[in-house]
């Protein structure tokens, strides 16, 4: 059976692409591409694919800095969740330590990937106007209008990431000219207002499907809207918690439900979890060979000190990249199945292990060596516990693909129902109207029941506090690109809360508040004086 929804990742999709240098713009090939409904579908497929694959025209290092990987670097490796190491030279120390500047290649990577999606979407929408498709059959026009709405939602998702990461950005849509020009700069207030209107429309019935795996849907639009509202005090200095609750309820009304097994959400058959996964980046080891998204999480969390990678995780190649910070490990209590970390290295069994290695009674397969929980340094791989959440195994326990050649079959869930439950509960605690405290507690305890396999981990009403929610979001959503945003919303990102190696100090230290946003990349500044002024305003 073909695993994914969009299997036709054809080259034609990338012909209708964009070229980003000093400012976002597109070079259209519409007369050659937009001639049939099938071609429209292929172009839309290319937009989805651009969030997964490596694009040498965007990143300074096309091997590593794809969209999802850059997003994960900022959302996870700059926090108390995980540390990234690459002894071969991938420069991530500035991110680990919260010490970047406008010249950091990872900032350029996420910025230009965002605008690649914006430019691709704009071109698709421009060429899918009612006037442009008037000559198509009624059936094809209906399909293309649906795909146009998907492109609008993908553009909104990219702009949401821009809103979350940057204090102000250039704004371009399908009505702007194609070619060299300096677009208007939108601050967070303007971008929030634009996205709110766009997502409200996209989350209405009959604009997008309520549920459709591998595609953005009405549930996707409502989930993005919920995240915007939950973080509105950060973005626009205004609490929008009642609106967050309403958006969460719109998602729930689409018909989602929690998956029974937490780890089935992160294995090679996770495309079957259509009940809980609201939107996933669909990976395929044959059609979307890439080193980002699910492949990144599966392979980068494996280290060469683990002899059981193929058997336990379906991985043929270790990358020695991502490990848990001790603060994440310590958030899990006994019995919480989500806290699945590797505290030991494994090697093939020997009767006489080397010093520091030991045998375990009854185990004649491996010998073991304990790993320190605290990370010694970014340029070594011997410390820090391993993250075992992701795998390239099917439900039957079989390896799904050869990760040494093609990558993993594991999709990357960008939005899940459990996140929506936690957003609703937090919004209730922050004073939002539209849901009761008992509803909020019930949603949280559904998540806890799955995490513990019983009601033994359920909490009482008095235990449901904002601090609990922040920790529960770490436990439920670690490595899923939410943590930086959460810590900023709780006022614990740059100051007031320390973690291992924050600020470049082993014990952690406060950093300048400017690191709550990213600067505009240096390459943009000479072309647009407004952007240079933004960097100066924020101390970059």
Look at residue 31 and give its three-state secondary structure. Answer: helix
Residue 90 and residue 291 in contact, taking contact as beta carbons nearer than 8 Å? no
Number of Cβ atoms within 10 Å of the Cβ of 510: 14
Task: Write down the H helix ranges in 260-373.
Answer: 293-300, 309-313, 326-329
Q: Give the pLDDT of residue 395.
A: 97
Say if residue 350 is exposed, middle or buried (CB neighbours under 10 Å; 0-12, 13-18, 19+).
exposed
Delimit the domains of the chain by residue range.
1-202+499-540, 283-410
Mean pLDDT by 10 residues, the chain (540 residues): 35 34 44 90 93 67 72 96 74 88 92 95 97 96 98 98 98 88 94 98 94 95 98 98 98 97 97 97 75 86 88 88 96 97 95 94 95 92 95 95 86 97 98 98 98 98 98 98 98 97 95 98 89 94
Q: 48 vs 53, 89, 154, 280, CA distance in Å? A: 9, 29, 8, 10
Greatest pairwise CA separation for the chain in angstroms: 77
Look at residue 154 and give its three-state secondary structure. Answer: helix
Q: Which two tokens stand for residue 376?
A: 């010694």
Number of Cβ atoms within 10 Å of the Cβ of 260: 10
Look at residue 410 and give its three-state secondary structure. Answer: coil
What pTM value is reported for the model?
Answer: 0.93
Going by the DSSP 8-state scheme, the letter that residue 399 receives in this structure is B
Q: Give the pLDDT of residue 334.
A: 96
Residue 337 and residue 357 in contact, taking contact as beta carbons nearer than 8 Å? no
Residue in 217, 265, 271, 214 with CA at minimum distance from that of residue 3: 271
Q: Give the pLDDT of residue 19.
A: 32
CATH topology of domain 1-202+499-540: 1.25.40
Q: Give the pLDDT of residue 14.
A: 38
Between CA 519 and CA 349 the distance in angstroms is: 50
Angle at 342 between CA 338 and CA 347, to 5 degrees: 150
Q: Which two tokens stand for residue 359?
A: 């045998």
CA atoms within 13 A on the CB side of 489: 28
Q: Give the pLDDT of residue 266.
A: 98
Task: Give the gyration radius of the chain's Cα atoms.
Answer: 23
């Amino acid at each position: 059976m073909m695993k994914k929804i969009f299997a036709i990742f054809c080259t034609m999709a990338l012909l209708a692409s964009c070229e980003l240098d000093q400012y976002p713009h597109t070079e259209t090939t519409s007369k050659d591409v937009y001639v049939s409904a099938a071609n429209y579908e292929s172009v839309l497929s290319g937009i989805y694919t651009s969030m997964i694959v490596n694009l040498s025209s965007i990143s300074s290092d096309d091997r590593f800095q794809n969209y999802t990987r850059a997003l994960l670097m900022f959302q996870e490796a700059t926090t108390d969740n995980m540390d990234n190491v690459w002894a071969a030279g991938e420069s991530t120390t500035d991110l680990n330590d919260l010490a970047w500047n406008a010249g950091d290649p990872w900032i350029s990577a996420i910025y230009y990937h965002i605008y690649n999606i914006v430019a691709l979407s704009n071109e698709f929408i421009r060429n899918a106007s009612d006037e442009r498709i008037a000559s198509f059959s009624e059936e094809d026009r209906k399909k293309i209008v649906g795909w146009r709405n998907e492109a609008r939602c993908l553009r909104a998702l990219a702009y949401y990431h821009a809103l979350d990461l940057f204090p102000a950005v250039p704004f371009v849509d399908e009505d702007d000219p194609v070619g060299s020009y300096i677009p208007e700069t939108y601050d967070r207030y303007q971008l929030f207002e634009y996205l709110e209107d766009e997502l409200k429309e996209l989350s209405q019935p009959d604009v997008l499907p309520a549920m459709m795996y591998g595609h953005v849907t009405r549930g996707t639009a409502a989930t993005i809207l919920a995240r915007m509202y939950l973080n509105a005090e950060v973005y626009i200095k205004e609490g929008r918690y009642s609106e967050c609750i309403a958006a969460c309820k719109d998602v729930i009304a689409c018909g989602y439900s929690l998956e029974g097994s937490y780890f089935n959400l992160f294995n090679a058959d996770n495309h079957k979890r259509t009940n809980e996964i609201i939107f996933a980046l669909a990976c395929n080891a044959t059609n979307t060979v890439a080193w980002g998204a699910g492949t990144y999480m599966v392979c980068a969390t494996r280290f060469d000190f683990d002899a059981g990678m193929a058997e336990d995780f379906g991985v043929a190649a270790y990358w020695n990249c991502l490990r848990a910070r001790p603060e994440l490990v310590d958030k899990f209590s006994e019995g919480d199945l989500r806290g699945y970390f590797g505290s030991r290295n494994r090697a093939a069994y020997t009767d006489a292990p080397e010093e520091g290695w030991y045998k375990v009674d009854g185990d004649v397969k491996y010998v073991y060596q304990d790993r320190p929980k605290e990370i010694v340094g970014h340029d070594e791989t011997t410390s820090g516990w391993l993250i075992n959440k992701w795998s390239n195994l099917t439900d039957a326990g079989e390896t799904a693909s050869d990760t040494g050649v093609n990558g993993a079959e594991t999709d990357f869930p960008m939005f899940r129902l459990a996140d929506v439950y936690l957003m609703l509960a937090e919004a209730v605690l922050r004073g939002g109207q539209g849901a009761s405290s008992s509803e909020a507690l019930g949603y949280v305890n559904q998540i806890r029941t799955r995490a513990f396999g019983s009601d033994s981990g359920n909490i009482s009403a008095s235990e449901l506090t904002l601090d609990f929610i922040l920790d529960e979001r770490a436990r439920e959503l670690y490595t899923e690109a939410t943590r930086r945003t959460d810590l900023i919303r709780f006022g614990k990102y740059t100051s007031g809360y320390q973690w291992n190696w924050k600020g470049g100090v082993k014990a952690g230290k406060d950093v300048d508040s400017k690191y709550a946003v990213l600067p505009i990349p240096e390459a943009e500044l000479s072309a647009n004086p407004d952007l240079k002024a933004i960097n100066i305003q924020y101390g970059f």
